Chain A
Amino acid sequence: MHFTLHIWRQENAHAKGHFEKYEIDNISPDCSFLEMLDQLNEQLVGDKIAHPVCFDNDCREGICGMCGLYINGRPHGNDDGVTTCQLHMRKFTDGDEIWIEPWRAKAFPVVRDLVVDRSAFDKIIQAGGYISVTTGGVPDANTIPIPKYVADQAMDAAECIGCGACVAACKNASAMLFVGAKVSHLGLLPQGQVEHLDRVRNMIVKMDELGFGGCTNTYACEAECPKQIKRQNIARLNREWIGQMFGRDRKN
């Protein structure tokens, strides 16, 4: 297959970026999108003209959350329920023009080319996205039975891979699906109840501080999430946020 690629090139965070046009040939339909970019880079290195295109990737099996490209206006491209590394060229037509951009969001500044800085997600988790247990001294795992449907719901939310597609898809660059998923995962489980209200408050305050927008119910995040995390998690987040306003005060 043959493609015309328009790729966002930007030397570093401070430089001005632009689209660069590349032609690529002999691409197998069974090839993944990132393998297609590998071949482009091989071409660029062979020609010794341009620096290869930088893009984040690691596991290449859809679980680490490191890859993430904005392809023809959609995060992770035109297939549902997959990350960029699992998108295959058979989803395109021979001769297609493909526009490839990095995630665009204030809280995710560009590092180089298609690589962005997503450390804001780590900072939100550090603000409270965990259950505070120290190693050792915990009860036996079967001490607290958890109904299967509750454990399953928690697992549905816990499947988030932190790739940032939800933020990239949102016109407000909101991280509420990401935060909602973590709040649901931990809040649904009895182990997470103790710190629940503080967790909701701390994570939301941090999210706002880092420059993520609010949710205006478009649900583009849900549509583009490679792990199909549900928008109900945002509803739960909003409910819990209101709940914590009437809940016990930290200081008392």
Chain B
Amino acid sequence: MILDSHIPEGPLAEKWTRYKNSQRLVNPANKRKLNIIVVGTGLAGASAAASLGALGFNVDIFCLQDSPRRAHSIAAQGGINAAKNYQNDGDSVERLFKDTIKGGDYRAREANVYRLAEVSGDIIDQCVAQGVPFARDYGGLLDNRSFGGAQVSRTFYARGQTGQQLLLGAYGALSREINRGSVKLHSRHEMMELVVEEGVAKGIIARDLVTGELERYAAHAVVVASGGYGNVYYLSTNAMNSNVSAAWACHRKGAFFANPCYVQIHPTCIPVHGDYQSKLTLMSESLRNDGRIWVPKKKEDAEAIRKGEKGPLDIAEQDRDYYLERRYPAFGNLVPRDVASRAAKERCDAGYGVGTTGLAVFLDFASAIERLGRDVIEQRYGNLFQMYQKITDQNPYEVPMMIYPAVHYTMGGLWVDYELQTTIPGLFAAGEANFSDHGANRLGASALMQGLADGYFVLPYTLQNYLADKIYEGAATTEGEAFEKAEQAVRDRIAKLLNINGRHSVDHYHKALGRIMWEYCGMARSKESLAKAAEEVEKLKQEFRSDVYVPGKAEEMNPELEKACRLTDYFELAQLIIADATQREESCGGHFRIEHQTEDGETQRDDENFMFVGAWEYHGADTPEELHKEQLNYEHIQIVKRNYK
């Protein structure tokens, strides 16, 4: 099968305009006769449903929380990028495009990224009109800050809660459409299965998480905006309920899954402190604007700190190693995430780590507080400092924070073409659930941009193009064999899990899976470690299948059952991540193979052999998946070695 990304003809800067000018439309009277299902109410899902509802389509939207406002987009802290050039510092669509491609280590699709940069400014306009209270300067105009991988200030922010404010904006727009009747909300519902008839997406099977009943929903098109799969590592910055199952249900039904090995490890998270820990908390990248990262220069100092004999304030200035500033003078503390994470790991592995476990580095604000005053720092990062203090019981205004990398975002996801359509006609994927825009590494403040770009400004166009001739098909119906079979498959899966009646809880297996993945398929991977991971995951999967205990019934609120269903999919996903990491014999962005590095420890790409998107096709449980390649053609951009020195 040849993967066609359906990129429009013409020069890069005109592609999107040309597409919009020539696409097919749906007449206003017909829009209300067409049904669209949106799964997920994060930035991508909520903005898509609101925009499509406003156009007049009939939308059903699903979320597994009690309210659409809880989606994990809400936890995004730092900001959203846009090429507004309000700061007059040389920003432009072209520059945002180039930074994003370079940040992604030349593994993203040019046309998609250009479109993203092109619509970025519209997103800010839209959000301000919705009442998003972005930070402003004393003249009343919008303020910006810098994020990793850029030399301009193009990040818009609302204190340390940008994701929350953007999501509440989209949630407001969604609420308005619910009030108008164009969107129907199904909260506490989880998508369990995609229904495909004659190769086309026709609807979903959802489980009501309160009653446990299975319900059928039919539509002319399905949009999956269910987020990323970072929780396969158990400990991540994702929310507890974030999962891959909706996307994986699509994958099982034939949608290709692309680049699963591209997982972003965020450099600044609160370090792990105990076995009972359920999640890791992010400390925003924006802190690197003013915070300086360091470890002691001398091993004996590091050791003394680990033993609690010395504190960070006992280490004299000349005995501190500001290793990012030392290694990357041009970008300093603001190198991209993958670079900063590996540098922290390198120092800790070499024996310079701090904290009781030795797996932490300092993020120090002393010089910023001295330069700007405590008030300014408090205004910029107050809520983050408070959060840090509540969790660790230490005051970051007085002692440096301790941080360590943690799984944060997944660049891989469902393969989509230029229209965000997957390999199943009628099935679209948006936001973190798709793979399209970030290549092998996402730049800070670009996830919010991509989620809202997909929902507000891309899907409302491309879905219409798809739906234009669907009016001839008549009303969507849940009758028929395809729905029958899909529902029965879910019923069987649930019954099987409930009947195992083994000895260990779901979390027991999830934690074990997470440890394997972090140890052997985490920040640094090798052929040997991946082989080891493959072996251990297979063994654990078999144990899970025969010895898990899921209490309760199918027809009731049963969180253990929900977790068991999700973990079943994580096992398959973990095996695919390992397979993808094994075939990619190069290092790029978040994927670091220790066999492929330069002398000074930087990633070494192999453009000749690996400049492709790896899209995997499912062939059934316990069967190896098949790799398809979409070659990346860079017509506009000049490919160079990624260098932040």
Partner of A139, one of B74, B129, B164, B176: B129
Q: Mark A147-161, 1 if CB is under 8 A from B, else 0.
A: 110011011001101
Chain A, range 21-73, C-beta contacts under 8 Å to B: 28, 30-32, 34-35, 38-39, 42, 45-46, 48, 51-52, 54, 56-66
A185 contacts B by Cβ under 8 Å? yes
Report the separation of the CA atoms of residues A14 and B67 in the bound assembly, to the nearest whole angstrom: 22
Taking a contact as CB atoms under 8 Å apart, the answer to whether B131 and A131 are in contact is: yes
* With A28-B276, A30-B273, A88-B390: A134-B54 Cβ-Cβ less than 8 Å: yes
Nearest CB of A to B120, in Å? 11
Nearest CB of A to B21, in Å? 16
Nearest CB of B to A22, in Å? 16
Taking a contact as CB atoms under 8 Å apart, the answer to whether A45 and B551 are in contact is: yes
Residues from chain B with a CB closer than 8 A to the CB of A154 are: 131, 133
Nearest CB of B to A61, in Å? 5
Taking a contact as CB atoms under 8 Å apart, the answer to whether A86 and B173 are in contact is: no
Chain A, range 183-215, C-beta contacts under 8 Å to B: 185-186, 189, 191-192
Nearest CB of B to A75, in Å? 16
Residues from chain B with a CB closer than 8 A to the CB of A159 are: 159, 161, 164
Taking a contact as CB atoms under 8 Å apart, the answer to whether B125 and A138 are in contact is: yes
Residues from chain B with a CB closer than 8 A to the CB of A112 are: 210, 556-557
A119 contacts B by Cβ under 8 Å? yes
Report the separation of the CA atoms of residues A148 and B135 in the bound assembly, to the nearest whole angstrom: 8
Q: What total of chain A residues lie within 8 Å of the partner, measured CB to CB?
A: 76
Taking a contact as CB atoms under 8 Å apart, the answer to whether A125 and B172 are in contact is: yes
Taking a contact as CB atoms under 8 Å apart, the answer to whether B75 and A122 are in contact is: no
Partner of B130, one of A11, A86, A130: A130
Q: Mark B220-245, 1 if CB is under 8 A from A, else 0.
A: 00000000000000000001110000
B274 contacts A by Cβ under 8 Å? yes
* With A58-B239, A135-B456, A136-B126: A38-B387 Cβ-Cβ less than 8 Å: no
Closest Cβ neighbor of B185 among chain A residues: A122
B460 contacts A by Cβ under 8 Å? yes
* With A56-B66, A119-B187: A130-B176 Cβ-Cβ less than 8 Å: yes
Taking a contact as CB atoms under 8 Å apart, the answer to whether A148 and B133 are in contact is: no
Partner of B125, one of A118, A139, A152, A189: A139
B560 contacts A by Cβ under 8 Å? yes
Residues from chain A with a CB closer than 8 A to the CB of B75 are: 59, 61, 63-64
Taking a contact as CB atoms under 8 Å apart, the answer to whether B67 and A122 are in contact is: yes
Residues from chain A with a CB closer than 8 A to the CB of B241 are: 58
Partner of A65, one of B70, B158, B240, B391: B70
Q: Mark B157-183, 1 if CB is under 8 A from A, else 0.
A: 011010011001001110110110000
Report the separation of the CA atoms of residues A39 and B69 in the bound assembly, to the nearest whole angstrom: 28
Closest Cβ neighbor of B47 among chain A residues: A135
Report the separation of the CA atoms of residues A82 and B390 in the bound assembly, to the nearest whole angstrom: 8
B140 contacts A by Cβ under 8 Å? yes
Partner of B559, one of A52, A66, A133: A52
Q: Give the one of A11, A12, A28, A126 with max B CB within 10 A.
A: A126
Closest Cβ neighbor of B274 among chain A residues: A28
A117 contacts B by Cβ under 8 Å? yes
Taking a contact as CB atoms under 8 Å apart, the answer to whether A141 and B128 are in contact is: yes
Residues from chain B with a CB closer than 8 A to the CB of A46 are: 505
Among the listed stretches B278-286, B342-350, B572-580, which one makes contact with chain A, having 4 or more residues with CB under 8 Å of it? B278-286
Report the separation of the CA atoms of residues A235 and B604 in the bound assembly, to the nearest whole angstrom: 61
Identify 17 residue pairs between A and B in the complex whose beta-carbon atoms are under 8 Å apart, listed by A's number: A32-B278, A58-B239, A58-B240, A64-B71, A64-B74, A65-B70, A66-B66, A81-B386, A117-B66, A119-B66, A135-B51, A148-B136, A151-B134, A154-B131, A154-B133, A155-B159, A162-B69
Name A's B-contacting residues (CB within 8 A). Answer: 11-12, 28, 30-32, 34-35, 38-39, 42, 45-46, 48, 51-52, 54, 56-66, 79, 81-82, 86, 88, 90, 111-112, 115, 117-119, 121-122, 125-136, 138-142, 145-148, 151-152, 154-155, 158-159, 161-162, 185-186, 189, 191-192
| Beyond known contacts A54-B559, A145-B141: 17 more, CB 8 A cutoff | A46-B505, A48-B549, A51-B552, A64-B74, A66-B70, A88-B393, A112-B210, A118-B66, A119-B187, A126-B179, A129-B175, A132-B176, A141-B84, A151-B140, A155-B133, A191-B129, A191-B131
Name B's A-contacting residues (CB within 8 A). Answer: 47, 50-51, 54, 65-72, 74-75, 84, 86, 122, 124-131, 133-142, 158-159, 161, 164-165, 168, 171-173, 175-176, 178-179, 185, 187, 210, 239-241, 273-274, 276-279, 281-282, 386-387, 390-391, 393, 456-457, 460, 505, 507-508, 549, 551-552, 556-557, 559-560
